[in-house]
Structure formats: structure tokens, C-alpha cells
Structure 1
């Protein structure tokens, strides 16, 4: 139970988070570059259109076969997963909990105490769940980073629960 995190409180649903499975989640982000890159709003439809166009162009140029370059890309992704430092945005989980209209704050409960944040700020949080390909066992299961990365060198550790108020 130490590795399970709850989102509960003034919301329609209680959400149970298991950081050990996030390594397979497509929403994971590489924290070694995330805070140093330029932030840009991405339109999911536009991203999908670009991916389909790239695939279509590849089929036209190389034919509808399994090109050898895809094998090397898969191998690189596997190595990256086994050695990378990853996080995941808290936003989709908070959205799934559906905070009630009168909810204004999120209390982050850690083993050291509680820290209160405005709900809008909590939507921007990043949860680090992996360091060099290993789960955060000693001071985890997650580390909490602010959306702007201002606490990048001193994240909130030992997060146990998020309580919406």
C-alpha cells in the first residue's frame, strides 16, 4: 500500500494511482529535458494529423513494408525506458476525479506533513516516478514538481495522497 496514492476529497470520484505502471503510459515525459525545453500548447488533432502524414509519407517513399529503421527506433525506446528519468502530469488524474465546482484547494499529504495549493496550480504538477530507470523507493513513490520547474532541485518528496478541498 506504500506505493499507492489516492486523490480524494471534494470530488465526484476517488482515484487510485499506481506509479509502478506509468513507465508504460504514453503520457510520460522525460524529465531530463522537460523543464529546459520551450513549452508549446499542442493540439491533439494536429499532432495526430502530423503522425498520420509522416506514416503516409513513409509508405509512399518506402512502400507498405516494415522498414528496418523502425526496429532501431523500438530498441532505442526500450533502452530509454530502462535508463530514463520520467514523470507524468497530474492533470489527467485530477480531471478524472472531477473536482466539485466549489473545490478550490488541493492538500498534498507527505510523510513530513501537509502542503496546501490552489486547485489551478495543482493541475500543472508533474509527478516524477522514475530515476535512471528505477522506481523511487527510498523517498517516493513520487516526487512532486511545480509546472514551471521552480522546485526542480528541491521537489516535494514522500507524497502519500492528494486531498481536494
Structure 2
């Protein structure tokens, strides 16, 4: 099985995706929390600005300090990575490929068949890349899920490519 997925078709840039590295991506979403309704969407820019502002204010008031090493926090994060189910949003990858202005749909190619979605519906799609800490080797490399959970039991599996038309 190939773990690289191309984005091709009516795009300015043909891109290849490697889901095996997304476990280290800050954009990953814990799908267990997401579908249980416990996930809180965080805007990366807003979060970065808040953290940076708080750090800057603390340094002005208290002076520079070396942050403590929190071994228990690191151990918890490592355990979570090895036991949770993760995914990422599909939209940023498609937008990076820069679909042409005349493009209207996304075709998800699989080993068996094809599934079509309007480009307007990109916000509703997630790519699941791990299940309980393990990559999707049998029927992966990704499963395509809808954010509303309507296909959580029957995701699109065995994805080979994303084609923009």
C-alpha cells in the first residue's frame, strides 16, 4: 500500500500528502473528543497571539525566567499520542494546491470507486489518519469522514488520490 496521496487535476500545484507525519502536526484533531462534542476549535493565530502576549507581559513584569520541565505533562502527551484516534481537516491541503477558478468539485479516488463532493463542502471533511495510536495500514492511509458524523461507521477508505475537477 502506498502511503503518499496526490492532490491532482485542476490545481496550480500538484501536491503529495504524507499522513504518516501528521501525528506531529499541531493541526491534528482528537477525533474521540471531536465526535463526542468535547472538541473546542482553536484559531491558531489567535491562540499564538494570546500565548505570546501573556509571555511578553510576564517577562516585562517578572523578568526572564526559565520555564519548568514538566515530565508528567510530556508523559501524558506521549501516552495520548499512542492511544488516541486522530485526524486533520482536508480543506487546508486542497487550498494549498490552489484549485483553478473553474474547478467546482473534489473527487476522492479509492481502490474500488470514486466519491464526489463540491469544493464548497470542503469544510465538512476530515481525514482520519490514526486509530487508537496506530496508522491505518489495512484500509488507509486515510479515511475520509464528515464532520457531522454521518459516515463515522462507513468512512471512505482505501483513498489513493484527491482529484480536483
Q: TM (normalized to structure 2)?
A: 0.87
Deviations 1:7-32 (A, max 9, x none): 10001011101111111111111010
- RMSD between aligned alpha carbons? 2.4
Count of aligned pairs: 164
C-alpha displacement of 1:54: 5.0
Give the structure 2 partner of residue 36 of structure 1.
Answer: 36
Give the structure 2 partner of residue 162 of structure 1.
Answer: 162
1:112, 1:21 → 2: CA distance?
Answer: 26
C-alpha displacement of 1:92: 1.2
**2:82 corresponds to 1:82:** yes
Say if 1:106 and 1:132 are closer, same or farther in 2 by CA, change over 3 A. Answer: same
Give the structure 1 partner of residue 149 of structure 2.
Answer: 149
2:74, 2:54 → 1: CA distance?
Answer: 17
1:132, 1:41 → 2: CA distance?
Answer: 21
C-alpha displacement of 1:91: 1.2
The DSSP-based 3-state class of the residue aligned with 1:87 is strand
C-alpha displacement of 1:86: 0.5
Q: TM (normalized to structure 1)?
A: 0.87
Say if 1:52 and 1:37 are closer, same or farther in 2 by CA, change over 3 A. Answer: farther
**2:106 corresponds to 1:106:** yes
Q: Which runs of 5+ in 2 are unaligned?
A: none
Q: Which runs of 5+ in 1 are unaligned?
A: none
C-alpha displacement of 1:55: 4.3
2:39, 2:86 → 1: CA distance?
Answer: 17
